[in-house]
Structure 1
Amino acid sequence: MTADLLPLDAGKLQSDVGALWRRIDVVTETGSTNADLAARAQAGEDIDGVALFAEDQTAGRGRQGRSWSAVPRSQILMSVGVSTADLPSATWGQLSLAAGVAAVEAVAEVAGVQAALKWPNDVLVGTGKLAGILAEVAAPGDGTPAIVVGIGLNVSLAADELPDPAAVSLLSLGVAQPDRQRLAAALLGRLAARISQWRAGDSTTLLADYRPLSGTLGRQVRAELPGGRELIGKATDIDGNGSLLIESNDGVVAVSAGDVVHLRPV
């Protein structure tokens, strides 16, 4: 069996990166790894440092409730738990940026693919979406929130198996037999490093690393905001909270939530 179709080995992942993660679980199938970790937090479990992988996901969710599903063992489907203890809520938005940078770094390390980030953290190659990231706050019973960060990375989906015409996979990009085990280990390693950076309050380095990877900065964009509002302008920077700064007719607006569409030059 080729490396792209082998089941993930939780024991090997634990031995490879276990010093960075307290617990690594791999399940054959689940509805949503994000929902599972959030439920464990709400039941009182400490999910900080816990990573959950699924070989198949039947009710995965992307941003704004979009579904995310695929052929079993054709993706990396994972969620990690991150404690917010002693960290101001104003910095929580940076965690999505950190996860995006980690995903781009892992793909480059293992597959040699250079990707870019559409704010806040869609991983793109050209105009094709290679991976999506969803960060959600879980509110456990003890009142100390945790953040669940989910990543769905298209690995060995053939062109006719991709869930969306705008999606790409490592296989469709020409990576023969991409190694999911190595990708999973690289993601965990890169995530751990970026989460540590975030915990240390080093937003300056994080943003300095994020900006060159951004495919959004410097472009004309349309931000589709909560409540059905839209904002059109030029994406100029990322602020210290992880918000996208858009220069519009109303001045510079900081967008902290919403979908961003890259507009074609006119």
Structure 2
Amino acid sequence: MTPSFPAPPAPLDQARLERGLLAPAGPWARVTVVERTGSTNADAAAAAVAEPAAWPDMSVLMTTHQDAGRGRLDRSWEIEPGAGLAISLVLRPTDASGRPLPTQTYSWLTLLAALALAESLGGPEGVTATIKWPNDVLVHEKKVAGILAQLAGTTDGTPPAVVLGCGINVAQELAALPVPTATSLAASGSRRLDTNDVAGAFLTAFAGHYRDFCDRSGDATRAGETGTSLIRNISLWMDTLGRRVRVQLPDGSDLTGEATALAVDGALQVIGSDLAQHDIHAADIVHLRAEGTP
């Protein structure tokens, strides 16, 4: 059945988002909406460095029109007006006592955001989403969103902020998507296409997981109040695990094998054809595909 595509959703409403996300309703410190920008990640990173007091932990910048965004490996991620969402979070993670988390824990934040987004896209009017390691969210095995983390360094010796960017395809028709392996919420059959609802649900879900992560000092193996660790929770949503994968490495070689688990630092553990376990980090790969897919 061919999906029916509605008119582009209403623009982001900053006042509405602030009511739902800022205190007392929610835990976010700052919500900023812009009509258009080149890259929310670039803007948020620059602001986090130039005005750290104005961009504290849990600040967010978002738009529905981005014309110079970049993804992993400097791939283009542009959003036509009203067709999708670009959301960048400024994070300065600290534990329950206020001490900055070790920067080696930051590798989990991309997967944490993927978990929050996959959860938030579901529900009676939504779609069933999964996580593709290391930074994609899929619907029907096609990419509906990508996540990119970068550090915004400081000059005063304090730990860098993390800028976590998320690009979500919302209302695009299939013909408007850049590659056949991409999809949008509309193309996937979601009836929740108001960008305010999509952004609000994602940010609310992320805030809960982020606070738990910080309260556990960034330890993804430590069980929370629900009795489930972050590593277990993410694994349950991950499309990649249990499948044979082909990992393209920067030197042009491929590693093929079965993706079996996540390591304690978020690396993907692959049992290769040599029967050895390989811990694959996001920075070490060019592409990862399930065997038999483009």
Give the TM-score band, short-chain normalised.
Answer: over 0.9
Aligned to 2:290: 262
Aligned to 2:97: none
Structure 2 residue 127 is the aligned partner of structure 1 residue 127: no
Residue pairs, 1:1-266, within 5 angstroms: 4-19=8-23, 20-46=27-53, 47=55, 48-85=57-94, 86-109=100-123, 111-143=125-157, 144-176=159-191, 178-201=193-216, 202-204=219-221, 205-248=229-272, 249=274, 251-257=276-282, 258=285, 259-264=287-292
Aligned to 2:224: none
Q: Is the 8 A contact 1:44 1:142 kept in 2?
A: no
SS in 1 for 2:122: helix
CA shift in 2, pair 1:70/1:145, >3 Å: same
Deviation string 1:75-129 (CA, Å, 9 cap, x unpaired) is 1210001114521122111111100000001111474200111102311112211
Structure 1: state its 5+ residue gaps: none
CA RMSD of aligned residues (A): 1.9
AA of the residue aligned to 2:235? R
Count of residues in correspondence between the two structures:
264
Say which is worse superposed, 226-235 or 68-77, in terms of deviation: 226-235
Larger relative contact order, structure 1 or 2 (CA cutoff 8 Å, min sep 6): 1
Question: Distance between the aligned counterparts of 1:17 and 1:234, measured in 2?
Answer: 40
Deviation string 1:188-247 (CA, Å, 9 cap, x unpaired) is 101111111221225132111111111100111122234544322111100111110011
SS in 1 for 2:88: strand
AA of the residue aligned to 1:263? E
Higher helix share: 1
Aligned to 2:226: none
Structure 2: state its 5+ residue gaps: 1-5, 95-99, 222-228
In the superposition, the TM-score normalised over structure 1's length comes to 0.93
AA of the residue aligned to 1:175? S
